[in-house]
Structure 1
């Protein structure tokens, strides 16, 4: 009988515990997420405020994603950044219920997302280092599935708490208390240490041309993929009375159920057919979803669109990080992931501001039409990238030469 590989077992445990960390943290975060656009509007904020919160909360942490990825490679350690990131997010969540204006929400959501900025690249690097090379997509899919199962739990809890008559502030307080549970499984995550990289240029200059092209394409998709809050606002327009809050919450639960259920299969399929093609399909599907939100006029079509929206995230979210891991070598993987997260986050700032401005001036239809166009451009960019760069390769040197 063959003995099990201890290193492989340690890697599998790492992925499982990181998945549990994500599950608990996202249970907390997703209690907040579905009520966030409703909380903002209750504080007097309009579509532009929603776009500002969505864009800045994703974009401001971008520089932290780049720096934490770079620092993780320089130090040869990743877990301290993951721990600090979750700590910062938990601290901001405890203050969020005390917000008196939507400007307070902008500040605290930005701080909370800064926590993700600190931990994102080092966490993804631990996942990639823990997974077998041929199963990286499955590894990211596993973490995303547990992450999104937490999102399902969180959104269900949010709906139940709202149904029980709790105010938005009380619901946010519950979410803050639950955020501390993420630190229990994080204690058991083993840091995969690597020799510190002595000379390394931060940012995209040290990356291969193929990876730089993908980061450009992913940034275009980030412009198209404006905050989920606009999808929630669009859904809210089709309902009145209590359903104006309850129905969007239920649709958000549906989105997360599909996302969670399809994350692992999508990762496995990307391992088999290649990340480039699965991402091109995901971008194209998002374009169709955005186009659907231009014309949607019934609850039945909303259900279908939120199912498709969940499928898009299952395909794209973990797939993008896995593709960056494919196109970077071990020594600078943290830097590569940081550069990717950073550029995509910077695009998110513009995305939120553009979407909020277009919505306020021209209405929801124009906003979703613009999103559909940009997503279609990103899909074509993925396909065209194969022609320009000669297809996929997982064997790249640290200098970026293929």
Structure 2
């Protein structure tokens, strides 16, 4: 690790062509961002682990009311993702600034849950928290895309998601420990979560570079000049190669340029399929509530359910990310939804008990490992470097808005028909969506890029 802003940022950039020089598959910038995500996810997953039980059992909200809250988690963040990606690109790739605002806003919201005891107040706090998440997601993924070599983007995103998921694995454990050790458990969880989120913001400020350039670049002093074709890097330089300031773009991209990225057929297909499949992806919280009820698990074990998903995600994120670099990322993305469909089938089957719960969590974690970072890597390969923030935001916004719609619809269906029937309808819709998406993506034969 290194202090991100402890060096001069005025530099020219040339390709690193030194003999025998191989860029790292996972640059330091990616590891630094992974550390930020790990810490932040501990904080976020502490809240996620207890929120369903808190609002349903503690505050007495109906499944429809919880569906509204869960929809806010997905929908509000989605509405600002495009703005976050566009602002980061428009500022001359100042992705760290926009991401820092997002992380800071989420950190402030965690302790505010101590004051939230009604649906409107909880909704407002969650909306602000998801606004922070929406602002930071696209700039963060853009920084990973720019820092990593194109042929290693799947692995880079896999490493980041593995570190992120380590936080998701630790978060429920911390929440479980706090609930068991304190009398007023929920308030203690919210307070500890806020403190941890503040640490994540501090790590971002200190260790993530302010400016990211394309991977494989080194910096030259401004006073150094070389003949064309004979550019020679200095004997030594401070900071990693991916942590130098890029040339400022001639004209900051306008919002219409960001939206206009959808004219690219490859990006348009990815966005449409991500949204279509998102419409039939049940929220994690609803899935855990179904598992807890069908498996007759004690309430105090509920925060541990996300651990199964997180553990499998952690184990498979890197190998599946590397696999995506060698085969079609789009096909792996579709295969992940097939795995999720198997998980829904197990929930609907007569097989119950702890073994069934474990099997569903394994499939759920494999689904995320095959889709989350893989989709971001596929997106990075079809948009130019100066529009990485907006490109990532377009795809993730479409997916998040679709999941927001699914949360609202699933909560209403659960209230009307019951959880099992609602899941059966969703599973059938997912099967149809996967078939349609396979045809939509078929014309594009992806080459890892």
Which runs of structure 2 are paired with 1:72-111 in the superposition (5 Å)?
Answer: 72-76=88-92, 77-111=94-128
Checking the alignment, whether the CA contact within 8 Å between 2:328 and 2:445 is kept in structure 1 is no
Whether 1:375 aligns to 2:430 is yes
The corresponding residue for 1:221 is 277
Deviations 1:354-384 (A, max 9, x none): 0100011011122212332233234223421
Whether 1:365 aligns to 2:420 is yes
The corresponding residue for 1:259 is 313
Deviations 1:22-61 (A, max 9, x none): 0000011111111110011111211112211111121112
Q: Aligned in 2, Cα 1:315/1:168: closer, same or farther, shift over 3 Å?
A: same
The corresponding residue for 1:39 is 54
Task: Provide the rounded CA distance (Å) in 2 between the counterparts of 1:175 and 1:277.
Answer: 37
Q: Aligned in 2, Cα 1:112/1:79: closer, same or farther, shift over 3 Å?
A: same
Checking the alignment, whether the CA contact within 8 Å between 2:80 and 2:134 is kept in structure 1 is yes
Q: Aligned in 2, Cα 1:95/1:378: closer, same or farther, shift over 3 Å?
A: same
Q: CA RMSD in A?
A: 2.1
Structure 2 unaligned segments of length 5 or more: list them.
Answer: 1-17, 213-245
The corresponding residue for 1:334 is 389
- Match among 154, 170, 173 for residue 153 of structure 1: 170
Give the TM-score normalised by structure 1.
0.91
Q: Aligned in 2, Cα 1:394/1:151: closer, same or farther, shift over 3 Å?
A: closer
Task: Provide the rounded CA distance (Å) in 2 between the counterparts of 1:244 and 1:392.
Answer: 46
- Match among 340, 344, 369 for residue 286 of structure 1: 340
Task: Provide the rounded CA distance (Å) in 2 between the counterparts of 1:3 and 1:281.
Answer: 38
Deviations 1:159-209 (A, max 9, x none): 122222442121121111111110232121112145334354255432311
- Match among 139, 144, 149 for residue 127 of structure 1: 144
Q: Aligned in 2, Cα 1:31/1:131: closer, same or farther, shift over 3 Å?
A: same
The corresponding residue for 1:25 is 40
Checking the alignment, whether the CA contact within 8 Å between 1:90 and 1:176 is kept in structure 2 is yes
Whether 1:245 aligns to 2:261 is no
Q: Which structure has the bigger radius of gyration?
A: 2
Checking the alignment, whether the CA contact within 8 Å between 1:235 and 1:248 is kept in structure 2 is no
The corresponding residue for 2:157 is 140
- Match among 189, 201, 205 for residue 208 of structure 2: 189
- Match among 182, 185, 188 for residue 170 of structure 1: 188
Checking the alignment, whether the CA contact within 8 Å between 1:220 and 1:374 is kept in structure 2 is no
Task: Provide the rounded CA distance (Å) in 1 between the counterparts of 2:50 and 2:384.
Answer: 40
Which runs of structure 2 are paired with 1:61-76 in the superposition (5 Å)?
Answer: 61-76=77-92
Checking the alignment, whether the CA contact within 8 Å between 2:85 and 2:393 is kept in structure 1 is yes
Whether 1:234 aligns to 2:290 is yes
Aligned length: 390
Whether 1:54 aligns to 2:110 is no
Q: Aligned in 2, Cα 1:38/1:121: closer, same or farther, shift over 3 Å?
A: same
Task: Provide the rounded CA distance (Å) in 2 between the counterparts of 1:129 and 1:375.
Answer: 33
Give the TM-score normalised by structure 2.
0.82
Checking the alignment, whether the CA contact within 8 Å between 1:214 and 1:382 is kept in structure 2 is no
Checking the alignment, whether the CA contact within 8 Å between 1:94 and 1:176 is kept in structure 2 is yes
Deviations 1:294-329 (A, max 9, x none): 235322111110111011111111111111111212
Per mean C-alpha deviation after superposition, the further-off stretch among 327-336 and 82-91 is 327-336
Q: Aligned in 2, Cα 1:199/1:17: closer, same or farther, shift over 3 Å?
A: closer
The corresponding residue for 1:400 is none
Per mean C-alpha deviation after superposition, the further-off stretch among 189-198 and 298-307 is 189-198
Task: Provide the rounded CA distance (Å) in 2 between the counterparts of 1:43 and 1:390.
Answer: 49
Q: Aligned in 2, Cα 1:134/1:246: closer, same or farther, shift over 3 Å?
A: same
